[in-house]
Amino acid sequence: MAIRWSSDFILAQYRDLKAKTISLDSSSNFLFIPGKNQIAIKNLNKPLDEIITFPRLNKYAPGVAAWNPNTYNKNICALPVSVVVELLIWKNYLQLCPAPILKSHTRVVTDINCHPFDPQLLNIYLIYSASTAPASQVKWNKISRHILATVHNGDVKIWDKRKISSPVHYISAHLTSIHCMDWCVFKENQFSTASQDGTIKFFDISNPQKTECVINTEAPVWKACYTPFGRGMLVIIIPTPRKIENTLLLWNLSNNSVPLHTFVGHSEIVLDFQWRHFPQNGSDYQLITWSKDQTRRIWEIDKYLQELCGTGNSDLDIDCVDYISEMEKENPVVFGHEQINISIYEKENYLKYTNGSTKNEKSKIQVKNLIRDINSDSASSSEINAFGKSSTITAIPPLNLQQEFSTNINIPNVQILKTDIIRRMCCTTAKCNGQIISLLINFPPSYPRNKGPIFRFAQGTTVSNAVRFKILQALRDTADFKVKNNQACLEACLRTLIVTMQKLTSNDAEKVNLFSDERLSTHGNSQDIYYVPAHRLICFVKPLSQLQSSDKNICGLNGTLPPRTKYMIRRGLLKRMKNTRQNKRTVLIYDVSSLFFLNKELWLLNISSDINDICKYNTQIANSMGRRDLQHIWNLVLISAKNTNTSCSGSIDWNCHPLAKEMLQSIILFYISQTDLQTAATLCCVFQEYLFKRDSSNLKQKSNKTTVVNTPNPCTYREWLSEPSGSPYHTLNPIESSVESAWSFPTRKHVRSSSWSDFLEDIKLSNSIEHGEMMETNDITLNYNEAFKYEIRALVMKSVKSANTEPHKGMEFKSECGQCKTSTFGKICLMCKLPTMYCVICRLSGLASLCVRCNHGGHLSHMKKWYETETFCPLGCACQCSINFVLTTS
Amino acid sequence: MVSILNTIEVGHEDVIHDAELDYYGLRLATCSSDQSVKIYNLKNGTQTLVADLKGHYGPVWQIAWAHPKFGNLLASCSYDRKVIIWKEINQWEKFYEYANHDSSVNSISWAPHEFGLVLACGSLDGTISVLTYKPEVNTWESKRIISAHTSGCNTVSWCPVTTPIDSFNTSLNASTEIKKRLASGGCDNLIKIWKEEGDQWIEETKIEVHSDWVRDVAWAPSVGLTKHLIASCSQDRRVIISSSDDLINWKSTVLNTFDDVVWSISWSLTANVLAVSGADNKVSLWKMDPEGQWICISDVIKGQGEIND
């Protein structure tokens, strides 16, 4: 039993006790350590005294002991022993006398808790054994005297002592068992639960469905209790093989990403701790810890540490406000709007707060709560996940500011001039391309938990305002990205600074990012992307990291759970996400047309002009667009077209040109393989006239050998060009359609080797379709057309031949014989040999115009004359023909 | 090279799960966990809310615009096991509701418009249903593929109608008759190709390449391609491109193994650029170079690499 003094803690080792818990009496003088075979009491005011031990006949060390915290009956402490509770009375600071044993339970007592106000009520709930899991813990509310909570595995039940028949609330807090539950000392309705799953959750019983916020430790939490001062929480985590030290952590509840302080010293897990308070001399607190290594340590919690937990006056905060205003006076430079807002907002809060502290205590607390609520709200939204375990595998513990400052950041051209941990700021300069940027970085108190630092340009910055703005934006994006993931951002920001600076100060425009808006990569929560046909890329931002983590969970649970569970989990998370509204939902639409070959300007089809003109025109456009390859191609094509013209004048096709066809084939194939459909389609459109003309001439020669395949919808090549006579190649006349209807599959087989159409047909792959080659060019152009969404539809459609629609055969009149009423197509009725159509005025055959309603009509000149004066049908059928007549002639 | 055209603040109160522009790129539909579907008109960089469609009672996972030749139709699927088809008749209203799935409907996809109004829906109950509109009788007919993917189907994608162009290969010609085909991916780590044979949907082939759940499957638009391409992404962090000449034998190559789960992939219209997004918070664009290697054309953003590690 050696007692060692150390600079920051007092250490005492009691090897024989084998205790699991400690308890402190109401005067904070005596420490009660119930061990395995003995009970020890230590007078803390006399550190050099030995402990007083009392033998005890029990082979198990009790897991819990409770010393009445009230001054009345202050000498009584309670100890659960199997199914009963032993009461012990500490008499005269010397003796420990047994008192009546409390027997009311039928099963093992797992926890006892003394009522904080009523000394008579020691401990009521010890075991609640019902159909549900037995209670493992019980805690009285620290403010409200009627409320108590019991813990059942992962669930918490809230009871009202006045109505004990059923719980007031039933809260499913964790999926795994809760090791510790504690009521908030400053807010009546709040409590925390610490669980095996590595999270500490905060609940408010006025809104029990909602998790107020979550602290994510990386290991199972053994204990998590509110500190009696400020808004802190002392946490014991169960060491993992990976991480043995630093199991005792102090957190500030308004910053739940990083522990505030780590108590280093115990070599084994800390089993229990007690707060020792000295009401007589102000605000000093001592922390007494009991570890599995059977040592007791007493830690002085100095004022500074208490302040960090958010207690006492806010020197730091005031300092920060002063500092910001000071900075603003010094540097009236451009800030991003957002930033100004943030700083003003913070300022307001701080000012309110500082005013409050001078006025009265109450308003101070209110303001404080306000700030805290804001913080915790955003904190809960930044909560990484509800199933801490899976995330702990990947999570990197965030550095606190001090660590961050002390890490050696070595970036060329960037120098950190000064760091000030108390003011939470640092000053850096970056030099690049003869420009200097001095940057002051101010870290808000909640950094790095979801709040990035504030950047200011200091004097000596030489870059222009526009550049400053861009740099600020880049820095903010980087910082936001990092802090969103609860990572320290200083180094990343400095790297961004120098990179952005290099980019902006150099004149090389080539270096501009592919995505000029860096958000695409930094924002980056975008999880879904779509191309729409008009070559737009949609990204939308799933702003919450939760979703990813939920997915991780789903991934982790893959296969082990029935499918619906996945969505249960998903849903659970989604629910939680609903509470988070800090992010605006945005959908970003990018113009990615530059990534594709499609280009409106490059649509070079000018159907009505001569092919030479098309080629020349296209060459020019390609040149102006900087598409050298296209310029070259069009030149080539032009040359071959010219040759064709000169060598085979008039109606001769390209067959007499030795190379042109193969060249075009390979060009088109090449562009198809490059997925440059625009070029391929353009070439097809421009040159398909050669194809069909030549084909038909081939066919004309060979039609006698052709097996005519019955084609349901013969291909009509009615008008290749929009201008019938514009092209010298236009030799086809519509009467030839009979030939073309015979132009079919076997023929094409025959001419395959040299036929352009076969080339296209081969491309098409679909021989089963009669008009393969037509389809092909049409397909290419149609798809191209799709891609452009009607922007040039009219132009394209001009060159696209309809291969599968019924050709228009012209109108035929079906007339009815006036005598026998049989219908006929001819001019004369087949039955009675009388003309079916005759002029109603002159009674001669030969009809020029007729009324569509009554079917009566006549020579145009006669009818015109008639209707100049009349409105009704000259035959007297009471049809008001003049209207129809006018319509039909107009 | 790439610029932002629009930034649209959508009024959703919760996570957006899907956003899609219509055929003309003039309207944007979004869906969210807040159980609503919203439609925006986009004009000159501004947006106006056209409709806020409420009818689902769970998070809406995906939406899909039908081809405009059928009118303005939008389909949506949700956790509430329902598929709703919305139609604009003066104003947006519910056109049809399909509620025969036993579990969340994860994915929907309209068939190529040549087939008419046909919608495929993949559900967590492991089945895929194909809804076909019969205009003559103004009804929807549904066919189910039972147990398409054990333990759930995550994604469906239709085979395009236009068959790939293969310039000098004529051997395949007769065999490739245009049939309705569907690719689906699911929780059994498989990609399956389904074919409509008469009245039945039969499994034509399956691609076993992924070692974890398949998250998204995208059949490349075939115009300009020499063969069929299917891109798939998975929980196993890989994106795999499978190609086939005959739709039976698929050859797979790994595009890339990413740092984190890949959630979504999308082809550009000419199938030359593939966009990939995943849980690593990045969108990357991939393009095939002339040698057939896939290269990332967007991830080389200077400076950003350092930021994102």
Mean pLDDT in chain A? 61
Residue of chain B nearest A501, judged by CA positions: B303
Task: Report pTM.
Answer: 0.44
Select from B7, B18, B168 the Cβ nearest to the Cβ of A528: B18
Query: A34: Cβ–Cβ under 8 A, 6 or more apart, which residues?
Result: A19, A20, A21, A23, A40, A56, A61, A62, A65, A79
**ipTM for the whole complex:** 0.78
| pLDDT of res. B304 | 38
Residue B105 lies in a domain: no
Strand ranges (DSSP E) for A620-708?
none
Percent of chain B at pLDDT > 70 equals 89
How many other CB atoms are there within 10 angstroms of residue B89's CB atom? Answer: 9
Per the model's pLDDT, the better-predicted residue between B40 and A553 turns out to be: B40
Residue B152 lies in a domain: yes
Select from A530, A543, A762 the Cβ nearest to the Cβ of B168: A762
| pLDDT of res. A750 | 29
Cis peptide before A445 (omega within 30 of 0): no
Per the model's pLDDT, the better-predicted residue between A578 and A478 turns out to be: A478
| pLDDT of res. B109 | 93
Give the A window 534-553 contacts with B, CB below 8 Å.
534-544, 547-548, 551-552
Please determine, for residue B217, whether its predicted confidence score (pLDDT) is greater than 90: yes
| pLDDT of res. B305 | 33
The whole-angstrom separation of Cα A480 and Cα A486 is: 9
| pLDDT of res. A230 | 76
Inform me whether the C-beta atom of residue A533 falls under 8 Å from chain B C-beta atoms: yes
Please determine, for residue A404, whether its predicted confidence score (pLDDT) is greater than 70: yes
The whole-angstrom separation of Cα A210 and Cα A201 is: 10
The whole-angstrom separation of Cα A784 and Cα A757 is: 20
Find the mean pLDDT for residues A745-752: 29
Listed range (A519-528, B142-151, B241-250) with the worst mean pLDDT:
A519-528
Per the model's pLDDT, the better-predicted residue between A443 and B122 turns out to be: B122
Find the mean pLDDT for residues B268-276: 79
| pLDDT of res. A401 | 72
Residue B158 lies in a domain: yes
Residue B205 lies in a domain: yes
Listed range (A162-176, A192-206, A247-261, A552-566) with the worst mean pLDDT:
A552-566
Using a CB-CB cut-off of 8 Å, the residues of chain B touching A541 are 16
CA B232 to chain centre: 11
Helices (H) and strands (E) in chain B, counts: 1, 25
Task: Please give the backbone phi and psi of residue A370, each rounded to the nearest 5 degrees, phi first.
Answer: -60, -50
* Alpha carbons within 13 A on the beta-carbon side of A607: 20
Residue of chain A nearest B276, judged by CA positions: A529
Q: Can you tell me whether residue A457 is helix, strand or coil?
A: strand
State the virtual CA torsion across B235, B241, B245, B248 in degrees, nearest 10. Answer: -10
Q: Which of A40, A112, A29 is nearest to A71 (CA)?
A: A29
Give the A window 578-617 contacts with B, CB below 8 Å.
578, 581, 584-592, 594-598
Q: Which two tokens stand for residue A544?
A: 């919450």
Find the mean pLDDT for residues A512-519: 35
Buried b (16+ CB within 10 A) or exposed e, A199-220: bbbbbbbeebebbbbbbbbbbb
Q: Residue B157 — pLDDT band, cuts 50, 70, 90?
A: very high
Listed range (A244-253, A551-560, A683-692) with the worst mean pLDDT:
A551-560
In the DSSP assignment, the letter for residue A627 is -
| pLDDT of res. B76 | 94
Q: Supply the CATH number for residue B174's domain.
A: 2.130.10.10
| pLDDT of res. A573 | 29
Q: Residue B77 — pLDDT band, cuts 50, 70, 90?
A: very high
Q: Which of A458, A517, A509 is nearest to A327 (CA)?
A: A458
Give the A window 416-455 contacts with B, CB below 8 Å.
none
| Å between A347 CA and nearest CA of chain B | 28
Residue B30 lies in a domain: no
Using a CB-CB cut-off of 8 Å, the residues of chain B touching A538 are 19-21, 28
| pLDDT of res. A241 | 64
The verdict on a CB contact (< 8 Å) between A535 and B173 is no
How many other CB atoms are there within 10 angstroms of residue B211's CB atom? Answer: 11
Residue B241 lies in a domain: yes
The pLDDT tens digits of the residues spanning A426-483 come to 888 888 777 788 888 888 777 766 677 888 787 777 777 777 878 888 888 888 877 7
What is the span of the domain harbouring residue B158?
148-309
CA B68 to chain centre: 18
Neighbouring-strand partners of residue A617: none
Q: Residue A792 — pLDDT band, cuts 50, 70, 90?
A: very low
The whole-angstrom separation of Cα B10 and Cα A538 is: 13
The whole-angstrom separation of Cα A505 and Cα A509 is: 10
Q: Which of B55, B125, B12 is nearest to A566 (CA)?
A: B125
Which of A446-460, A748-762, A780-794, B9-23 has maximum average pLDDT? B9-23
Please determine, for residue B209, whether its predicted confidence score (pLDDT) is greater than 50: yes
Residue B48 lies in a domain: no
Q: How many domains does chain B have?
A: 1
Please determine, for residue A421, whether its predicted confidence score (pLDDT) is greater than 50: yes
Please determine, for residue A881, whether its predicted confidence score (pLDDT) is greater than 80: no
The verdict on a CB contact (< 8 Å) between A674 and B279 is no
Please determine, for residue A698, whether its predicted confidence score (pLDDT) is greater than 50: no
| pLDDT of res. A134 | 67
Find the mean pLDDT for residues B178-199: 89
Percent of chain A at pLDDT > 70 equals 49
Listed range (A856-865, A879-888, B217-226) with the worst mean pLDDT:
A879-888
Q: Which of A581, A469, A478, A471 is nearest to A521 (CA)?
A: A478
The whole-angstrom separation of Cα A734 and Cα A737 is: 6
The verdict on a CB contact (< 8 Å) between B213 and A558 is yes
Residue B153 lies in a domain: yes
| Å between B299 CA and nearest CA of chain A | 8
Listed range (A34-43, A385-394, B267-276) with the worst mean pLDDT:
A385-394
Find the mean pLDDT for residues A735-749: 30
Listed range (A473-477, A881-885, B163-167, B262-266) with the worst mean pLDDT:
B163-167
| pLDDT of res. A341 | 37
The whole-angstrom separation of Cα A177 and Cα A153 is: 4
Give the A window 785-824 contacts with B, CB below 8 Å.
786-787, 789-790
The verdict on a CB contact (< 8 Å) between A532 and B17 is no
| pLDDT of res. A797 | 56
Select from A528, A562, A588 the Cβ nearest to the Cβ of B7: A588
Residue of chain A nearest B30, judged by CA positions: A587
The verdict on a CB contact (< 8 Å) between B213 and A588 is no
Using a CB-CB cut-off of 8 Å, the residues of chain B touching A518 are 301, 304
| pLDDT of res. A229 | 77
| pLDDT of res. A244 | 56
CB A539 within 8 A of CB B10: no
| pLDDT of res. B185 | 92
Strand ranges (DSSP E) for A802-864?
815-816, 823-824, 849-850, 857-858
